[in-house]
Amino acid sequence: MTNKSATKTESQELLPEGWEMVIGLEIHVELATATKLFSPAQNSFGSEPNQNVHPVCLGLPGTLPVVNEKAIEFAARIGLALNCTVQKCVFARKNYFYPDMPKDYQISQFDEPLNIDGWVDLPVAGTRIRVERAHVEEDTGKTTHVGDSGRIHDAGYSLVDYNRAGVPLVEIVTHPDIRGPEEAKEYVDEVRAMVVAVGASDGKMEEGSLRVDANVSVRPAGSDELRTRCEIKNVNSLRSIGRAITYEAKRHVNLYESGKEPIQETRHWDEEAGRTRDGRKKEDSDDYRYFADPDLVAIDPTPEWIAQIAASQPALPAQRREALVSAGADSEGAALVVQRDLDSLVLAVIEAGGEAKRVLNHATNNLAIEGAEALSPSNFADLVKMEADGALTSTQAKQVLAEMVSDGSTPADIAAKHGFEAMDTGELEATLDEIISSSPQEWERFVNEPEARGKLQGFFVGQVMKATRGQADGKLVNQLLAKKANS
Amino acid sequence: MSKPAPKPTATDIAAQVRSGERTAVEVLEEHLAVVADRESEIHAFNVVIADEARERASAIDAQIASGEDPGPLAGVPVALKDNMCTTGIPTTCSSKILDGWKPPYNGTAVDKLYEAGAVVVGKTNLDEFAMGSSTENSAFGPTLNPLDTSCVPGGSSGGSAAAVAAGFAALSFGSDTGGSIRQPAALTGTVGLKPSYGTVSRYGLIAFASSLDQIGPFANTVADAAAGFEAVAGHDPRDSTSIPEQLRPVTPHLSDGVDGMRIGVITELMGDGELKGFEPEVIAQTRAAADALAAAGAKVSEVSVPSVVYGLTAYYLIAPSEASSNLARYDGVRYGNRVTGVNTAAMNTATRTAGFGAEVKRRIMLGTYALSAGYYDAFYGKAQRVRTLIIDDFARAYEDFDVLLSPTSPCVAFPFGAKSDPMTMYLNDTCTIPSNLSGQPAISVPFGTGDRGLPVGVQILAPMLGEVELFKVAAVLEGANQ
């Protein structure tokens, strides 16, 4: 029956012995079109309430939807990035009453979505998450309940803002292939990078451009059954995705272990309390009475159109990481550089003669993303060369880099301005010898007590830095200390 | 009953106004005088916009005076069904739920009428949300048939039919979802066209059943109906279901005749098959119309279109299903009437309970049920398959025939309250529904009289975009109907 795998998965580490998590994610991505999905109203974030509206997205009687072709192109770009099949699709009406939905139905896609059967390979976890579908739909407006508790059931009144109503969304639905919070976060991050890379969305979770619902269940580790799941809504940051999933999975395990069972429901993540709460119980079960929207016609992308979209796809995160690795980057550094969107700069610096390892180090640790695009690759490469040649210490190099970003000067000029000069090994060795002779007890212990060496190493490096006003290369000091102690 | 005095035709009015022979103001005042005389009795209008119409007519006259051509409908007084959105003018669908709502925009057909030089005189009464066949379902009271005020004018576009029949307007427009133009045209002795689905934009037509609704004209003559159709037809990028093809003009073909045309009389709609309830005079006049066409040189024979007998059933699943969704937006949140409640759901319920009439509620419930999980396949899904069958059956018939012929309505105008049972009322649409399901065009033309001397309407059906053929046949029937 169950076939327990040899290595423990992430979720098995987090859950009591014998359980694992089964997670599927639904990501809603707002598309960065100029206008809404079916209406000429502007699609932008942060406007005054009810400014970005038009009779069509207000659902006024007599109005009709006309599909925004740019939204379909963006959706197909997302589909192709997710390795989906892009196919003929039909818009359907999802019928339910809600005040922030002007027509009291949402135009979505049901049994014939635009994108189906794709996958995402996670770069760090190394797992493949299958994508069931990525369909196009319209967003709803926003309701604010004004009353004592801010909750709908005892609100004094409600305010509705339709700016978001009709904004194009792509909903990306995975199979339940995710096995833990870190994997979930990595998946979301990878999808976010993809939709940004193809230009389909700004991917800003904090502005709601990318929203995640998690379907969470648990099962005996190694089993392939699918147990009752709960849908967790309101997870608005990567951090809360991880916390919410872990909380919910533990809740399920606790229920099972106390002889109870979870019920299928929608739950809300309470970030402050660090727990999920059951949503308002629905009086009627979810019967959305889907049917093909008679106001719209099927969209049947031609193979030529799909090929054209595919041919003009910008490089995807995976391809960009691969390019960095080919240029000499390690995979972890490559992932971080792509995430920081600094890969084209890094590649140009390596091309200009910068040593890959040092360039990666600066790009991942020392370089602020803002302003980095203004850096001249050849100046950056010169800086790395000066550092490699010992003309600058790593500390100095970091400072010079920061100033290169702020004032655009060459590294040589900045180094000269600060009087950063090559401190040659001989000079440094003389300084170190002086310090050793003035601290004989410390040196004695450094040489003879291996367990104290780490702490005392810090002492000697600190003394050297103090004496050289930070101009010494810490790494070189360590090398000299080791050489002297062993000689 | 007495034959009404001949009314000025739209084409004559436009010609006279364009030539400067008459002014638009003069024409308008003449029609407003008829309105003043009979509207309080007939109740064709929900609102008469005399002041706006006068301004508009003066503007048309100013255009003429400055040498501009206001368009093919210059100075023609036009009435619009009150489910066609008009900027700043109440548009109610004859429902309490939209009471007081003024659209911030004109529908495309309305814009086109203004561009053609028409003068809108008012918004006409209808069965609430176009659901009905007698205009008795209006929240604002029924419209009376100008030919016999003890009878209904048909529906749902009863107000538009009555407006033209009474001479309140030279031309009017309605919407036809299951016969709502053709049936009232038949009952009021007017010409009524349901164009091919997608030829007239639905933008600004308040939806009943989106896949079936189509705007079309009412007129006192076939030529006027042709002019009305040409004014409103054409591609509209705001309606995704609008047909992009260039349409053939119909007016140049009105006197082409029917010589050599193959015309099929639909066997199933002639009263001796499964479908009952046809008045014998209606059948007799339809046969007389067929004979007249044969006499004019057409090859006329009977043709079987077997699946039309299922049309009514399919229609009463598809139309209410779409309506249940289309009418969801009347929830009290944004416009129209609101009845308050303790929470949003209670407000929705109270608003809809108070705002909708019985027939609308009946159809919303029917449609909601037909689309529900577990019932979809048996009801909505199956109805859609019947729809395909009907389209296929028509396609087979049109292999051998250019146009088809049937009665428009199984009966002539009936007295108020005579069909209070919904099923009896629904049977009125037996002959008209198949064209809505197939999307194909059909026209009703008066031909002779039936019971109590009331007019009979004969229906001509054609394949998609076959309006030219429809009008050729209609013109011949009009000539033969003396």
Same domain, residue pair A241 and A390:
no
- CATH assignment at residue A435: 1.10.10.410
Q: Is 80 exceeded by the pLDDT of residue A282?
A: no
**Cα distance between residue A106 and residue B325, in whole Å:** 10
Q: Is 80 exceeded by the pLDDT of residue A3?
A: no
Residue A5 lies in a domain: no
Q: For an interface test with B, which of A39, A53, A57, A64 has the most B Cβ atoms less than 10 Å from its Cβ?
A: A64
* H or E stretch at B363: helix B358-370
Name every chain B residue with its beta carbon within 8 A of the beta carbon of A290: 371
Domain of A455 in residue numbering reads as 425-486
Say whether A289 and B202 touch across the interface (CB within 8 A).
Answer: no
Same domain, residue pair B282 and B416:
yes
Same domain, residue pair A297 and A343:
no
Per residue in A289-312, pLDDT (tens digit) is 999 999 999 999 999 999 999 999
Chain A, 220 to 279: residues with Cβ < 8 Å from chain B are none
Per residue in B267-322, pLDDT (tens digit) is 999 998 888 889 999 999 999 999 999 999 999 999 999 999 999 999 999 999 99
Residue A406 lies in a domain: yes
**Cα distance between residue B207 and residue B129, in whole Å:** 8
B180 is catalytic: yes
**Cα distance between residue A75 and residue A482, in whole Å:** 59
Find, among B212, B183, B160, B229, the residue nearest to B316 by Cα.
B212
Same domain, residue pair B355 and B295:
no
| Confidence at residue B5, expressed as pLDDT on a 0 to 100 scale | 58
> What are residue B112's DSSP bridge partners?
none
Three-state SS across chain A? Answer: CCCCCCCCCHHHHHCCCCEEEEEEEEEEEECCCCECCCCCCECCCCCCCCCCCCCCCCCCCCCCCCCCHHHHHHHHHHHHHCCCEECCECEEEEECCCCCCCCCEEEEECCCCCEEEEEEECCCCCCEEEEEEEEEEECCCEEEEEECCCCHHHEEEEEEECCCCCCEEEEEEECCCECCHHHHHHHHHHHHHHHHHCCCCCCCHHHCCEEEEEEEEEEECCCCCCCCCEEEEEECCHHHHHHHHHHHHHHHHHHHHCCCCCCCEEEEEECCCCEEEECCCCCCCCCCCCEECCCCCCECCCHHHHHHHHHCCCCCHHHHHHHHHHCCCCHHHHHHHHHCCCHHHHHHHHHCCCCHHHHHHHHHHHCCCCCHHHCCHHHHHHHHHHHHCCCCCHHHHHHHHHHHHHHCCCHHHHHHHHCCCCCCHHHHHHHHHHHHHHCHHHHHHHHHCHHHHHHHHHHHHHHHHHHHCCCCCHHHHHHHHHHHHHC
Same domain, residue pair A152 and A71:
yes
DSSP state of B218: E
A471 pLDDT band (50/70/90 cuts)? confident
β-strands B455-461, B403-407 pairing = antiparallel
Q: Is 90 exceeded by the pLDDT of residue B203?
A: yes
Same domain, residue pair A393 and A464:
no
Choosing from B328, B356, B377, the residue where a domain stops is B377
Residue B142 lies in a domain: yes
What is the arithmetic mean of pLDDT over B383-389? 97
Q: Is 80 exceeded by the pLDDT of residue B456?
A: yes
Q: Is 50 exceeded by the pLDDT of residue A214?
A: yes
Domain of B292 in residue numbering reads as 262-308+382-446+456-474
| Confidence at residue B7, expressed as pLDDT on a 0 to 100 scale | 83
Same domain, residue pair B332 and B428:
no
Say whether A62 and B322 touch across the interface (CB within 8 A).
Answer: no
The token pair that represents A308 in the structure block: 């054209």
Closest Cα in chain B, distance from residue A132 (Å)? 22
Residue A296 lies in a domain: yes
| Confidence at residue A452, expressed as pLDDT on a 0 to 100 scale | 83
B325 is catalytic: no
Same domain, residue pair A251 and A268:
yes
Choosing from A289, A309, A329, the residue where a domain stops is A309
Name every chain B residue with its beta carbon within 8 A of the beta carbon of A63: 203-204
* H or E stretch at B469: helix B467-480
Per residue in B73-97, pLDDT (tens digit) is 999 999 999 999 999 999 999 999 9
The number of domains in chain B is: 3
Same domain, residue pair B332 and B361:
yes
Smallest Cβ–Cβ distance between B372 and the set A105, A283, A289 belongs to A289
| % of residues, chain B, pLDDT over 90 | 92
Residue A282 touches partner B, C-beta closer than 8 Å: no
Same domain, residue pair A296 and A338:
no
| Confidence at residue A291, expressed as pLDDT on a 0 to 100 scale | 96
Residue A63 touches partner B, C-beta closer than 8 Å: yes
Choosing from A309, A327, A349, the residue where a domain stops is A309
The token pair that represents A136 in the structure block: 């196009």
| Confidence at residue A427, expressed as pLDDT on a 0 to 100 scale | 80
Smallest Cβ–Cβ distance between A59 and the set B240, B329, B371 belongs to B329
| Confidence at residue B1, expressed as pLDDT on a 0 to 100 scale | 44
The token pair that represents A53 in the structure block: 């509206």
Residue A90 lies in a domain: yes
Same domain, residue pair B99 and B113:
yes
Q: Is 90 exceeded by the pLDDT of residue B231?
A: yes
Q: Is 90 exceeded by the pLDDT of residue B232?
A: yes
The number of domains in chain A is: 3
A40 pLDDT band (50/70/90 cuts)? very high
| Confidence at residue A5, expressed as pLDDT on a 0 to 100 scale | 44
Same domain, residue pair B372 and B390:
no
Contact criterion met (CB below 8 Å) for B75 and B14: yes
Same domain, residue pair A125 and A227:
yes
Q: For an interface test with A, which of B212, B344, B388 has the most A Cβ atoms less than 10 Å from its Cβ?
A: B344
Contact criterion met (CB below 8 Å) for B191 and B229: no
Q: Is 70 exceeded by the pLDDT of residue A235?
A: yes
Residue A1 lies in a domain: no
Residue B257 lies in a domain: no
Mean pLDDT of chain A: 90
Q: Is 70 exceeded by the pLDDT of residue A422?
A: no
| Confidence at residue B14, expressed as pLDDT on a 0 to 100 scale | 98
Per residue in A345-396, pLDDT (tens digit) is 999 999 999 999 999 999 988 888 888 888 899 999 999 998 888 788 888 8
Per residue in A310-324, pLDDT (tens digit) is 999 999 999 999 999
What is the arithmetic mean of pLDDT over A210-225? 95
**Cα distance between residue A108 and residue A90, in whole Å:** 9
Cβ neighbours of residue B290 closer than 8 Å, sequence gap 6 or more: B263, B265, B300, B405
Residue A300 touches partner B, C-beta closer than 8 Å: no
What is the arithmetic mean of pLDDT over B385-405? 98
Contact criterion met (CB below 8 Å) for B105 and B85: yes
Mean pLDDT of chain B: 96
Find, among A88, A384, A70, the residue nearest to A200 by Cα.
A70
**Cα distance between residue A56 and residue A40, in whole Å:** 8
| Confidence at residue A455, expressed as pLDDT on a 0 to 100 scale | 86
Residue B35 lies in a domain: yes
Between residues B267 and A3, the one the model is more confident about: B267
Same domain, residue pair A271 and A151:
yes
From the list B95, B156, B307, B435, the catalytic residue is B156
Same domain, residue pair B402 and B460:
yes
Residue A460 lies in a domain: yes
| Confidence at residue B2, expressed as pLDDT on a 0 to 100 scale | 43
B443 pLDDT band (50/70/90 cuts)? very high
| Confidence at residue A4, expressed as pLDDT on a 0 to 100 scale | 40
Closest Cα in chain A, distance from residue B473 (Å)? 32
Q: Is 80 exceeded by the pLDDT of residue A6?
A: no
Same domain, residue pair B244 and B360:
no
The token pair that represents B281 in the structure block: 């005079």
User: Scanning every residue of chain B, which has its alpha carbon at the shortest distance from the alpha carbon of A284?
Assistant: B345
Q: Is 50 exceeded by the pLDDT of residue A1?
A: no
Contact criterion met (CB below 8 Å) for B176 and B436: yes
What is the arithmetic mean of pLDDT over B187-212? 98
Same domain, residue pair A396 and A441:
no
Q: Would you call B206 helix, strand, or coil by DSSP? A: coil
Say whether A104 and B202 touch across the interface (CB within 8 A).
Answer: no
Q: Is 80 exceeded by the pLDDT of residue A10?
A: no
Same domain, residue pair A470 and A455:
yes
Q: Where are the alpha helices (DSSP H) in B3-105?
A: 10-19, 24-42, 50-65
Q: Is 60 exceeded by the pLDDT of residue B223?
A: yes
Q: Is 80 exceeded by the pLDDT of residue B326?
A: yes
Closest Cα in chain A, distance from residue B196 (Å)? 16
Find, among B470, B475, B467, the residue nearest to B197 by Cα.
B467
Find, among A253, A260, A275, A257, the residue nearest to A15 by Cα.
A253
Same domain, residue pair B157 and B76:
yes
What is the arithmetic mean of pLDDT over A439-465? 87
Choosing from A368, A384, A418, the residue where a domain stops is A418
Closest Cα in chain B, distance from residue A411 (Å)? 59
**Cα distance between residue B391 and residue B440, in whole Å:** 9
Same domain, residue pair B304 and B326:
no
Same domain, residue pair A257 and A113:
yes
Same domain, residue pair A461 and A334:
no
Name every chain A residue with its beta carbon within 8 A of the beta carbon of B324: 95, 289
Residue A3 lies in a domain: no
| Confidence at residue A256, expressed as pLDDT on a 0 to 100 scale | 97
Count CB atoms within 10 A of the CB of residue A438.
10
Same domain, residue pair B191 and B273:
no
Q: For an interface test with A, which of B325, B343, B347, B366 has the most A Cβ atoms less than 10 Å from its Cβ?
A: B325
Residue B481 lies in a domain: no
Residue B482 lies in a domain: no
Q: Is 80 exceeded by the pLDDT of residue B11?
A: yes
| Confidence at residue A148, expressed as pLDDT on a 0 to 100 scale | 56
A207 pLDDT band (50/70/90 cuts)? very high
Q: For an interface test with B, which of A63, A93, A160, A286 has the most B Cβ atoms less than 10 Å from its Cβ?
A: A63
A156 pLDDT band (50/70/90 cuts)? confident
Residue B332 lies in a domain: yes
Say whether B206 and A65 touch across the interface (CB within 8 A).
Answer: no
Same domain, residue pair B349 and B432:
no
Say whether B344 and A99 touch across the interface (CB within 8 A).
Answer: yes
Residue A377 lies in a domain: yes
